[in-house]
C-alpha cells in the first residue's frame, strides 16, 4: 500500500515538473502571457499528416510502368531472328580472335560490316600470325629434332587451328552478305506465333554454348593438372614451378628460342586461344545447323497446320517460294562454311583415332587418367551431337514429303504435285550420288 502511494506521488511530481518546463518553453518561444500559456497547454499537440494527391500517385505509377514496358520490349522480347540467336556465338568468337565483324549486337543485317582497319581485324590478324609462327616452329621440331606420334599430333593441332582461324577470317568478309540473305529469307517465312516459339532458337543455342564451353574449360583445367605432375616430378627449372610449367607447355618452341617469362606467358595465352578456338569450331557449325533446321521446321509446321484444311493455289505457290529460298540459303551457307565444316569433322576424326590409340598406354598418374577419359568422352559426344545437328537439316528438308500425304484429294493441285515431285526427285538423286550426306538443292 505504501509502495503504491509512493509511486503515485512520484509520478505526480514528475508530471508537474514536465508541465512546468513545457510551459516555460512555450512562453519563451511564443512570448505570450501566462493565461495564454495555460490555454496552449490544455490543447494536445496535433500531428500534421501530409496527404498525397491520388492523381499524382497514379501518374507516377503510370510513368514507372511505361519505363518497364519499354525495357521489356527492347531488351527482353525475342523476335525469333537468326541474328538475335547467333549473337552470343559471334561475341565469343571475337573474344578468341575469330569472326572480326562489326555490328554483331544488332538485330538487323544492314548494320553488319567488315573492315580491314578495325581493332577486331587487327586483333585477329595478330593471333593468326602467332598461330602461323607456332605452327612453323612445330613443323621444324618434327623435321629436325623428334619425329614421333606426340609431336606430330601437336603439329596437326596447331596447324589445324591456324587453318581454322584463316577460314573464319575469310568467312568474316562474307558474313554481312550471308546475314543479309538469311534476313531476306526469314522475312518471307510464316511468322512465329508465340513468345516461346520466338525464343526457342536463342535458348537452344545458348545451351549449346554453355555446355560446350564448360566442358572445354574442365578439359583445359585437367590438362593443366596433368602438366603440373611433370613439373613436380622433374622440374626443368629447379625451384621455379611457374616457369617450369610455362616451359613444358611450349617445350617444342623453346627448343629453338631461349626461354623468358614473357615468352612463356605469351605461349600460354596462345595455347588457351588455340584450345577454345578448336572447341568453338564445333559450336559454330552446331549453331548454324540448328538455325537452318529451325527455319525448315518453321515452314513445315506451317504447312502441317494447313494441310488438312481447304487451301488455295496461291497458298502452295507461296510455300514453294519459301522452300526454294531456304534451299538457296543452304547453297549460300555451303559455299561460305564448307572449309570450316571440313576442318571440323576431319579434326574430330583424327583426334578420336589418336586418343583411341593412346588408350592402350599406361597413364603415369590419376590426373592423366581422368584427363584422358574425360577428353575422349567429350570429343566423342561433341562429334556425335555435331553430326546429329548437321543431319537434322536434311531430315527437315525431307519432311514435306510426309506432309503432302495429308492433303485431301479435292485440294490437291498442280503446285502441290510439282513441289512433291521436285523434292522426291532431288532426294532420290542425292541418295544415288552421296548416300547419307545432306545435299542442298534448288527448286
Instruction: State how far the Cα of 109 lies from the Cα of 35, in Å rounded to an integer.
Output: 86
Q: Is it the case that residue 288 has pLDDT exceeding 90?
A: yes
pLDDT of 5? 46
Domain annotation covers residue 33? no
Are 285 and 344 within 8 A, CB to CB? yes
Q: What is the mean pLDDT of the chain?
A: 79
200: nearest Cα among 288, 284, 71, 291: 291
Q: Exposed, middle or buried, 15 (CB in 10 Å: 0-12/13-18/19+)?
A: exposed
**Residue carrying C-alpha cell 506465333:** 193
pLDDT of 31? 45
Mean pLDDT of 52-70: 51
* Nine cell digits for residue 340: 570450316
Alpha-carbon dihedral of residues 133, 139, 141, 142, nearest 10 degrees?
160
Q: What does the pLDDT look like over 217-236, one tens digit per residue?
A: 898 888 888 888 777 777 77
Domain annotation covers residue 2? no
Q: How many CA atoms lie within 13 A of 150 on its CB side?
A: 6
pLDDT of 96? 87
Are 314 and 416 within 8 A, CB to CB? no
Categorize the per-residue pLDDT at 416 as very low, low, confident or very high, splitting at 50, 70 and 90: confident
pTM of the predicted protein model: 0.76
Q: What does the pLDDT look like over 339-386, one tens digit per residue?
A: 999 999 999 999 999 889 888 888 888 888 898 899 999 999 999 999
Q: Is it the case that residue 280 has pLDDT exceeding 70?
A: yes
pLDDT of 55? 53
pLDDT of 27? 46
pLDDT of 429? 60
Instruction: State how far the Cα of 196 lies from the Cα of 78, in Å rounded to an integer.
Output: 9
Question: Could you tell me what percentage of the chain is helix, strand and coil, using 3-state DSSP and rounding each to the nearest 5?
Answer: 80, 0, 20
Are 142 and 158 within 8 A, CB to CB? no
Domain annotation covers residue 375? yes
Categorize the per-residue pLDDT at 275 as very low, low, confident or very high, splitting at 50, 70 and 90: confident
Q: Is it the case that residue 197 has pLDDT exceeding 90?
A: no
pLDDT of 243? 83
Beta strands, E only, 321-386: none
pLDDT of 17? 62
Domain annotation covers residue 38? no
Domain annotation covers residue 53? no
Regarding predicted confidence, which is higher, 36 or 182?
182
pLDDT of 433? 43
pLDDT of 438? 41
Q: Which domain holds residue 225?
A: 77-433
All residues at 6 or more sequence positions from 101 whose CB lies less than 8 Å from its CB, including other chains:
90, 94, 112, 113, 114, 120, 172, 175, 176
Are 332 and 323 within 8 A, CB to CB? no
23: nearest Cα among 11, 34, 8, 9: 34
Q: What does the pLDDT look like over 173-193, one tens digit per residue?
A: 999 999 999 999 998 888 888
All residues at 6 or more sequence positions from 418 whose CB lies less than 8 Å from its CB, including other chains:
320
* Nine cell digits for residue 434: 552421296
pLDDT of 292? 93
pLDDT of 434? 43
Q: How many CA atoms lie within 13 A of 338 on its CB side?
A: 9
Cβ of 430: how many Cβ atoms within 10 Å?
A: 19
* Nine cell digits for residue 424: 522426291
pLDDT of 21? 57
Domain annotation covers residue 116? yes
Regarding predicted confidence, which is higher, 33 or 62?
62
Helices (H), 189-253: 195-233, 241-249
Domain annotation covers residue 35? no
pLDDT of 374? 92
Cβ of 86: how many Cβ atoms within 10 Å?
A: 23
Q: Is it the case that residue 412 has pLDDT exceeding 70?
A: yes
Domain count, the chain: 1
Helices (H), 31-53: 34-42
Worst-scoring range by mean pLDDT, 105-109, 115-119, 411-415? 411-415
Q: What does the pLDDT look like over 73-93, one tens digit per residue?
A: 544 566 778 888 899 999 999
Mean pLDDT of 23-35: 46
Q: Is it the case that residue 162 has pLDDT exceeding 50?
A: yes
* Nine cell digits for residue 75: 531488351
pLDDT of 417? 81
Q: Which residues pair with 113 in a beta bridge?
A: 102
Mean pLDDT of 305-330: 86
Direct distance between the N- and C-terminal alpha carbons of the chain, in angstroms, rounded to an integer? 111
Categorize the per-residue pLDDT at 50 as very low, low, confident or very high, splitting at 50, 70 and 90: very low
Q: Which residues of 115-136 are buried (b: 16+ CB within 10 A; e: fewer)?
A: eeeeebbeebeebbebbeebbe
Q: What does the pLDDT look like over 255-266, one tens digit per residue?
A: 888 888 888 899
Domain annotation covers residue 71? no
Amino acid at each position: 500500500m505504501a509502495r503504491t502511494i509512493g509511486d503515485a506521488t512520484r509520478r505526480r511530481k514528475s508530471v508537474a515538473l514536465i508541465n512546468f518546463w513545457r510551459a516555460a518553453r512555450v512562453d519563451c518561444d511564443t512570448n505570450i502571457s501566462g493565461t495564454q500559456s495555460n490555454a496552449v497547454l490544455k490543447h494536445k499537440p496535433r500531428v500534421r499528416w501530409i496527404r498525397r494527391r491520388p492523381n499524382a500517385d497514379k501518374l507516377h505509377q503510370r510513368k514507372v510502368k511505361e519505363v518497364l514496358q519499354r525495357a521489356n520490349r527492347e531488351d527482353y522480347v525475342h523476335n525469333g531472328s537468326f541474328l538475335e540467336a547467333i549473337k552470343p556465338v559471334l561475341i565469343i568468337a571475337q573474344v578468341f580472335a575469330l569472326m572480326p565483324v562489326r555490328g554483331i549486337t544488332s538485330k538487323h543485317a544492314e548494320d553488319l560490316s567488315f573492315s580491314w582497319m578495325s581493332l577486331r581485324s587487327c586483333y585477329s590478324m595478330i593471333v593468326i600470325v602467332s598461330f602461323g609462327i607456332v605452327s612453323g616452329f612445330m613443323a621444324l621440331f618434327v623435321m629436325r629434332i623428334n619425329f614421333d606420334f606426340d609431336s606430330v599430333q601437336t603439329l596437326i593441332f596447331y596447324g589445324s587451328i591456324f587453318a581454322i582461324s584463316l577460314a573464319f577470317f575469310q568467312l568474316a568478309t562474307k558474313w554481312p552478305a550471308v546475314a543479309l540473305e538469311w534476313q531476306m529469307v526469314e522475312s518471307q517465312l510464316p511468322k512465329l506465333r508465340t513468345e516461346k516459339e520466338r525464343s526457342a532458337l536463342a535458348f537452344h543455342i545458348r545451351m549449346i554454348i554453355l555446355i560446350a564451353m564448360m566442358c572445354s574449360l574442365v578439359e583445359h583445367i585437367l590438362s593443366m593438372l596433368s602438366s603440373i605432375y611433370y613439373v613436380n616430378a622433374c622440374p626443368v627449372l629447379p625451384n621455379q614451378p611457374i616457369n617450369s610449367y610455362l616451359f613444358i607447355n611450349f617445350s617444342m618452341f623453346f627448343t629453338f628460342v631461349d626461354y623468358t617469362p614473357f615468352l612463356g606467358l605469351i605461349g600460354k595465352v596462345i595455347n588457351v586461344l588455340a584450345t577454345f578456338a578448336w572447341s568453338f569450331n564445333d559450336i559454330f557449325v552446331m549453331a548454324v545447323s540448328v538455325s537452318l533446321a529451325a527455319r525448315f521446321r518453321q515452314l513445315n509446321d506451317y504447312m502441317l497446320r494447313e494441310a488438312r484444311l481447304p487451301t488455295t493455289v496461291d497458298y502452295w505457290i507461296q510455300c514453294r517460294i519459301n522452300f526454294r529460298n531456304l534451299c538457296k540459303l543452304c547453297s549460300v551457307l555451303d559455299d561460305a562454311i564448307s572449309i570450316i565444316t571440313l576442318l571440323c569433322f576431319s579434326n574430330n576424326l583424327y583426334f578420336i583415332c589418336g586418343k583411341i590409340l593412346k588408350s592402350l598406354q599406361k597413364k603415369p598418374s590419376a590426373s592423366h587418367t581422368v584427363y584422358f577419359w574425360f577428353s575422349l568422352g567429350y570429343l566423342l559426344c561433341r562429334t556425335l551431337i555435331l553430326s546429329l545437328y548437321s543431319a537434322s537439316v536434311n531430315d527437315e528438308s525431307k519432311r514435306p514429303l510426309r506432309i503432302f500425304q495429308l492433303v485431301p484429294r479435292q485440294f490437291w493441285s498442280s503446285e502441290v504435285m510439282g513441289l512433291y515431285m521436285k523434292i522426291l526427285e532431288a532426294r532420290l538423286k542425292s541418295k544415288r550420288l552421296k548416300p547419307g550426306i545432306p545435299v542442298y538443292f534448288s527448286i
